[in-house]
């Protein structure tokens, strides 16, 4: 039982860190530029496809990952310079409409290039099986995702908390006008942040490709979770994104693992079988509603 | 002069009433965009391939195939079906992948007395109480492939089974189909969220149960997610995974690859089936689309052949509904799955086969037919159908 619980805790951590990779970029773009980017999930999808294509062409997952992330960052740069720059000054409705259009365009473009069927992206051979840690087995590849997640979180912490660019980013998130008044080139800063967000998206897509189906529409399902995370964590806050991701990942995993069993102990089998899965799937939304009730700005609001 | 013209016109009209249609219009509505598009595209490609073989004709009459995308939405499906029926006045319809869409458009199509040849969706409603003379299914009833897996798992002597399926009506149907033939112990029925990405929690639970077999029905991307994660968790060593053919066909294999080897699944058709029709179909499909056909493609292909045979049978008089129904029921085409016949509810009575995923002679990971699970198997709902 303790082993099962340990394994589920690791699963929660891994799922949380994977969400963090996505939410970090989203929260920065949303928080600093005040721009709602629904196409964030499309960048994740395109990233996964690019990584899959590069991995197949090069025969190595790691080369594919590096090339795919680079290509996605480049795509992010083009998008920022051509489209998003026009959107910052518009209201949220225009941003939602424009980025929703981008989702549709991205989905159809991917289908035209790679076809309607999912494409293959498998982990490197050495990581495809489970490893034994202290008596129980855990998929090696999931440990790699955990390692990447922790590394990215650490890197982001250093960047945001210790570097000069990070200081500008934090300043931009808490008060944009004042930052501009102090002579920071906010436009260039926005470009850097957006490109960085796109690269993180592609990294998430590429890393998750071996666990999930790389297919058209994969971005939308994960986008909703990323929005839940940044709303719980507080929009614009990297720390909030990390804490929010870990909470969502853990609550979702443990809810799915434990709720059906718990309910069976207190309810008749029939009712438990119906209620358990239903409750487990809305648990994170209940959590979000609860947190918003007590902290309407999220756990770590960026704007004081 | 004018008299002669009138006579000519009258003669033409007479001729027209005898040989009503000079062209057959087919309305093809399917899911061609969004996450479910892989299936719709395969049905369409199979259908188009058959039309190419028939030189664009159905029963020797030129055919026009109108293709529309339902976007996997019942509302959109209803709109395009309405347009096809009222504005384009199509003679025959086909193409819908998903049963919930089929149930949404069915009443309109049947009321309009237009024949619908389903190349995929086989809801129990239309097999049972709500069966219609205007509905034919050239594929299977939804439960059939699950029943076949249940029978296989039962016959193989597996004793401790875990079932994984999404928490929605299709998932519940899969479980009831499976349990109709598997009578052993079900250690756990795991119901997941529809569209779930991560299955780590469920896999940990399965690991602690240590079942000898696992039956899952997770359509589309969910199945791909699950199989990838199942294998990387190392569970395939102790647990045999079994699924209906939908979760183990070319679309899924293409996305997962070698980790799927050794998985058992059920189907009414396989690309390695030894009959002349099938060999021609598979070779033509590979040549045309540079990939192996899936069961969906085979169903689309059969749907076109079925229309062709029936239209030829009634000599193009598709407006004679009673005759057309008889011609469709007679099933005078050679199916790529070999012989089968229609039951009184217009669903197939056919064989179901066991397939296992392995490497073929060219080293490709694909399905191999291992044996027959059911011979001349009918669905469980036919007794409730009172065909009018």
- List, by residue range, all CATH 3.40.50.2300 domains of chain B: 2-140+274-339, 143-267+352-382
Task: Please report which confidence band the pLDDT of residue A304 belongs to, taking 50, 70 and 90 as the band edges.
Answer: very low
Q: Could you tell me which of B260, B243, B195 has the C-alpha nearest to residue B221?
A: B195
- Which residues in A lie closer than 8 A to residue B234 (C-beta atoms)? 129-130, 137, 139
Nearest to B37 among A116, A119, A140 (CB): A116
Which chain B residue shows the shortest CA-CA distance from A103?
B34
User: Would you say residue A51 has pLDDT above 60?
Assistant: yes
B358-377: per-residue pLDDT in tens?
A: 998 888 899 999 999 999 99
User: Would you say residue B388 has pLDDT above 90?
Assistant: no
A101-142: per-residue pLDDT in tens?
A: 999 999 989 988 988 788 888 888 888 888 887 777 788 898
CA–CA separation, B178 and B145 (whole Å): 8
User: Would you say residue B3 has pLDDT above 80?
Assistant: no
The minimum CA-CA distance between A123 and chain B, rounded to whole Å, is 9
Residue B10 has a pLDDT of 54
Is A120 touching B (CB cutoff 8 A)?
yes
Strands A130-133 and A136-139: antiparallel
What angle do the packed helices B200-209 and B221-232 form, to 10 degrees? 50
Does ipTM come in above 0.85? Answer: no
User: Would you say residue A8 has pLDDT above 90?
Assistant: no
The minimum CA-CA distance between A253 and chain B, rounded to whole Å, is 6
CA–CA separation, A135 and A14 (whole Å): 19
Residue B17 has a pLDDT of 45
Residue tagged 């899952």 (tokens): B216
Q: Give the H or E element holding residue B173.
A: helix B169-181
3-state secondary structure of B184: coil
User: Would you say residue A243 has pLDDT above 90?
Assistant: yes
Task: Enter the tokens of residue B153.
Answer: 């798992």
CA–CA separation, A126 and B250 (whole Å): 26
Mean predicted confidence (pLDDT) in B330-350: 92
User: Would you say residue A144 has pLDDT above 50?
Assistant: yes
For chain B, percent helix, then strand, then coil, each to nearest 5? 45, 20, 35
Task: Please report which confidence band the pLDDT of residue B138 belongs to, taking 50, 70 and 90 as the band edges.
Answer: very high
The answer to whether B243 touches B355, Cβ cutoff 8 Å, is: no
User: Would you say residue B226 has pLDDT above 50?
Assistant: yes
Is A82 touching B (CB cutoff 8 A)?
no
3-state secondary structure of B331: coil
Structure letter (DSSP) for residue A46: H
What's the count of helices (H) and strands (E) in chain A, helices before strands?
A: 12, 2
Is B256 touching A (CB cutoff 8 A)?
yes
CA–CA separation, B306 and B309 (whole Å): 5
User: Would you say residue A235 has pLDDT above 90?
Assistant: no
User: Would you say residue B1 has pLDDT above 60?
Assistant: no
Residue A35 has a pLDDT of 86
Among the residue ranges A7-16, A25-34, A82-91, B86-95, the one predicted with the least confidence is A25-34
User: Would you say residue A15 has pLDDT above 50?
Assistant: yes
Average pLDDT in chain A: 87
Residue A3 has a pLDDT of 75
Which chain A residue shows the shortest CA-CA distance from B290?
A115
Is A290 touching B (CB cutoff 8 A)?
no
Task: Please report which confidence band the pLDDT of residue B224 belongs to, taking 50, 70 and 90 as the band edges.
Answer: confident
Beta bridge partners of B166: B192
- Which residues in A lie closer than 8 A to residue B69 (C-beta atoms)? none
Is B35 touching A (CB cutoff 8 A)?
yes
Nearest to A122 among B167, B202, B257 (CB): B257
User: Would you say residue A256 has pLDDT above 70?
Assistant: yes
Determine what percent of chain B is predicted with pLDDT higher than 90: 67
Could you tell me the pTM of the whole model?
0.83
Structure letter (DSSP) for residue A214: B
Is A281 touching B (CB cutoff 8 A)?
yes
CA distances from B324 to A156, B90, B109, B138 (A): 69, 14, 16, 16
3-state secondary structure of B350: strand
Task: Please report which confidence band the pLDDT of residue B15 belongs to, taking 50, 70 and 90 as the band edges.
Answer: very low
User: Would you say residue A2 has pLDDT above 80?
Assistant: no
Contact A221 B195 (CB under 8 A): yes
- Mutate which: B208, B218, B232, vs A, most A CBs within 10 A: B232
- Which residues in A lie closer than 8 A to residue B254 (C-beta atoms)? 117-120
Residue A116 has a pLDDT of 79
Residue B304 has a pLDDT of 95
User: Would you say residue A273 has pLDDT above 80?
Assistant: no
- Which residues in B lie closer than 8 A to residue A116 (C-beta atoms)? 32, 37-38, 40-41
User: Would you say residue A58 has pLDDT above 60?
Assistant: yes
Residue A262 has a pLDDT of 80
**Selection from A230-239, B148-157, B212-221 with the highest mean pLDDT:** B148-157
Which chain B residue shows the shortest CA-CA distance from A279?
B193
Is A210 touching B (CB cutoff 8 A)?
yes
Task: Please report which confidence band the pLDDT of residue A29 belongs to, taking 50, 70 and 90 as the band edges.
Answer: confident
Mean predicted confidence (pLDDT) in B336-346: 92
* A2-294: in CATH 1.10.3470: yes
CA–CA separation, B241 and B245 (whole Å): 12
3-state secondary structure of B295: helix
The minimum CA-CA distance between B123 and chain A, rounded to whole Å, is 23
- The sign of the torsion formed by the CA atoms of B75, B166, B384, B242 equals positive
Task: Quickly count: other Cβ atoms within 10 Å of residue B44's Cβ.
Answer: 25
Task: Enter the tokens of residue B325.
Answer: 């129904």
Task: Please report which confidence band the pLDDT of residue A25 belongs to, taking 50, 70 and 90 as the band edges.
Answer: confident
- Topology (CATH level 3) of domain B143-267+352-382: Rossmann fold (3.40.50)
Contact A119 B195 (CB under 8 A): no
Task: Please report which confidence band the pLDDT of residue B300 belongs to, taking 50, 70 and 90 as the band edges.
Answer: very high
The minimum CA-CA distance between A221 and chain B, rounded to whole Å, is 7
**CATH number listed for the domain at residues B2-140+274-339:** 3.40.50.2300
* Domain parsing of chain A, residue ranges: 2-294
Mean predicted confidence (pLDDT) in A182-188: 86
Mean predicted confidence (pLDDT) in B239-243: 92
Is A129 touching B (CB cutoff 8 A)?
yes
Task: Quickly count: other Cβ atoms within 10 Å of residue A250's Cβ.
Answer: 17
B17-45: per-residue pLDDT in tens?
A: 444 568 999 999 999 887 778 889 999 99
User: Which DSSP string corresponds to B189-224?
Assistant: EEEE-TT----HHHHHHHHHH--SEEEE--TTHHHH
């Amino acid at each position: 039982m303790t082993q099962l619980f340990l394994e589920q805790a690791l699963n929660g951590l891994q799922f949380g860190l994977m969400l963090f990779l996505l939410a970090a970029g989203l929260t920065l773009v949303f928080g600093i530029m005040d721009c709602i980017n629904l196409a964030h999930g499309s960048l994740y999808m395109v990233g996964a496809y690019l990584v899959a294509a590069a991995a197949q062409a090069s025969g190595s997952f790691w080369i594919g990952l590096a090339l795919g992330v680079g290509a996605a960052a480049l795509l992010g740069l083009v998008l920022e310079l051509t489209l998003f720059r026009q959107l910052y000054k518009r209201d949220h409705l225009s941003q939602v409409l424009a980025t929703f259009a981008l989702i549709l365009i991205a989905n159809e473009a991917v289908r035209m290039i790679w076809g309607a069927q999912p494409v293959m992206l498998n982990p490197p051979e050495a990581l495809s099986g489970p490893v034994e840690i202290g008596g129980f087995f855990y998929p090696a590849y999931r440990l790699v995702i955990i390692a990447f997640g922790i590394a990215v979180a650490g890197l982001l912490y250093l960047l945001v908390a210790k570097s000069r660019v990070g200081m500008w980013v934090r300043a931009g998130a808490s008060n944009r006008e004042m930052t501009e008044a102090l002579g920071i080139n906010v436009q260039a800063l926005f470009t850097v942040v957006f490109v960085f967000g796109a690269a993180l998206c592609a990294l998430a897509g590429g890393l998750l490709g071996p666990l999930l189906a790389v297919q058209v529409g994969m971005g939308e399902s994960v986008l909703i979770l990323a929005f839940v995370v940044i709303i719980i964590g507080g929009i614009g806050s990297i720390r909030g994104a990390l804490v929010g991701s870990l909470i969502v990942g853990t609550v979702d995993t443990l809810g799915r693992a434990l709720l059906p069993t718990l309910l069976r102990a207190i309810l008749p089998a029939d009712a438990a079988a119906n209620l358990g899965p239903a409750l487990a799937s809305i648990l994170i939304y209940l959590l979000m509603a609860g947190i918003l009730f007590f902290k309407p700005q999220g756990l770590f609001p960026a704007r004081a | 002069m004018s008299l002669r013209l009138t006579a000519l016109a009258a003669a033409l009209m007479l001729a027209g009433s005898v040989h009503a249609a000079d062209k057959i219009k087919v309305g093809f509505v399917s899911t061609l965009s969004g996450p479910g598009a892989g299936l719709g595209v395969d049905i369409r490609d199979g259908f188009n391939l058959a039309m190419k073989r028939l030189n664009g004709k159905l029963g020797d009459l030129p055919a026009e195939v109108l293709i529309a995308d339902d976007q996997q939405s019942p509302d959109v499906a209803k709109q395009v079906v309405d347009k096809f029926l009222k504005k384009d006045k199509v003679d025959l319809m086909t193409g819908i992948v998903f049963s919930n869409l089929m149930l949404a458009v069915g009443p309109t199509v049947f009321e309009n007395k237009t024949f619908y040849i389903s190349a995929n969706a086989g809801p129990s409603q239309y097999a049972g109480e709500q069966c219609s003379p205007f509905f034919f299914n050239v594929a299977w009833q939804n439960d059939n492939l699950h029943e076949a897996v249940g029978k296989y798992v039962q016959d193989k002597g597996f004793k401790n089974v875990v079932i994984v399926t999404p928490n929605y009506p299709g998932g519940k149907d899969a479980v009831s189909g499976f349990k109709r033939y598997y009578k052993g112990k079900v250690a756990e029925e795991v119901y997941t969220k529809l569209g779930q990405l991560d299955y780590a929690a469920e896999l940990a639970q399965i690991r602690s149960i240590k079942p000898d077999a696992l039956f899952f029905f997770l359509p589309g991307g969910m199945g791909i997610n699950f199989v990838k994660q199942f294998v990387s968790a190392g569970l395939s060593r102790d647990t045999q995974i079994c699924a209906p053919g939908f979760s183990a066909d070319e679309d899924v294999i293409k996305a997962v690859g070698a980790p799927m080897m050794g998985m058992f699944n059920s189907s009414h058709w396989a690309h390695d089936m030894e009959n002349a029709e099938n060999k021609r179909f598979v070779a033509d499909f590979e040549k045309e689309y540079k990939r192996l056909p899936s069961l969906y493609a085979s169903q689309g292909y059969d749907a076109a052949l079925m229309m062709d045979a029936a239209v030829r049978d009634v000599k193009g008089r598709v407006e004679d509904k009673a005759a057309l129904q008889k011609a469709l029921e007679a099933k005078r085409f050679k199916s790529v799955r070999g012989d089968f016949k229609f039951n009184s509810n217009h669903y197939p009575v056919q064989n179901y086969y066991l397939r296992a995923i392995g490497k073929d002679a060219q080293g490709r990971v694909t399905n191999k037919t291992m044996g027959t699970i059911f011979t001349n198997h009918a669905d469980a709902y036919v007794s409730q159908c009172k065909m009018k």
